[in-house]
Amino acid sequence: MNEWWRGAVIYQVYPRSFCDSNDDGIGDLAGVRSKLDYLAALGVEGVWLSPFFRSPMRDFGYDVSDYRDVDPAFGSLEDFDVLLKTAHGKGLKLIIDQVYSHTSDQHPWFKESRRARNGPKSDWYVWADGKPDGAPPNNWISLFGGQAWSWDTRRRQYYLHNFLAEQPDLNFHNPEVQAEILDVAKFWLDRGVDGFRLDVANFYFCDPQLRDNPPKNSSGGFARPYQHQRHLYDRSQPENLAFIETLRSLVDRYQERMTVAEIGSDSYVARSIEYTEPGRLHTAYNFLLLEGGPLTAALIKGAIESWTSASAWPSWSFSNHDVVRVRTRWGGPEAGDAFAQVLLGVLMCLRGTIFLYQGEELGLPQAEVPFDRLRDPEGIRFWPDSLGRDGCRTPLPWKAGAANGGFSSVEPWLPPDQRHGEFAADKQERNPCSTLNLTRAFIRFRREHHVLRLGEIEFFDAPEPILAFRRSDGATRLVCIFNLGAEPAEYGLPVKGRALDYGLPGKLEGDRAVLPPWGGLVIQELPRGGGR
Tell me which residues are annotated as active site: 199, 262
Query: How many other C-beta atoms lie within 10 A of the C-beta of residue 265?
Result: 18
Single-letter amino acid code for the residue at 526: L
The contacts of residue 483 (CB under 8 Å, 6+ apart) are: 342, 465, 466, 489, 506, 515, 516, 517, 518, 519, 520
Measure the CA–CA gap between 456 and 381, rounded to whole angstroms: 44
CA dihedral 436, 5, 328, 364 (to 10 degrees): 30
Query: How many other C-beta atoms lie within 10 A of the C-beta of residue 501?
Result: 8
- How long a stretch of residues is the chain? 532
DSSP lists the bridge partners of residue 11 as 47, 356
CB-CB contact of 17 with 358 (8 Å): yes
Cα angle, residue 144 at apex, residues 223 and 116 outer, rounded to 5°? 150
Single-letter amino acid code for the residue at 357: Y
End-to-end C-alpha distance for the chain, whole angstroms: 39
Measure the CA–CA gap between 55 and 71, rounded to whole angstroms: 6
The DSSP letter of residue 404 is G
CB-CB contact of 246 with 182 (8 Å): yes
Q: Indicate if the alpha-carbon torsion angle 341, 15, 392, 103 is positive or negative.
A: negative
Single-letter amino acid code for the residue at 120: P
Measure the CA–CA gap between 16 and 26, rounded to whole angstroms: 5
Q: Is 330 left (phi over 0), alpha (psi -120 to 50) or beta?
A: alpha
Helix and strand numbers, DSSP H then E, in the chain: 15, 21
Residue 439 to residues 43, 44, 260, 433, Cα–Cα distance (Å): 9, 10, 23, 10
Give the orientation angle of helix 175-191 with respect to helix 238-251, to 10 degrees: 30
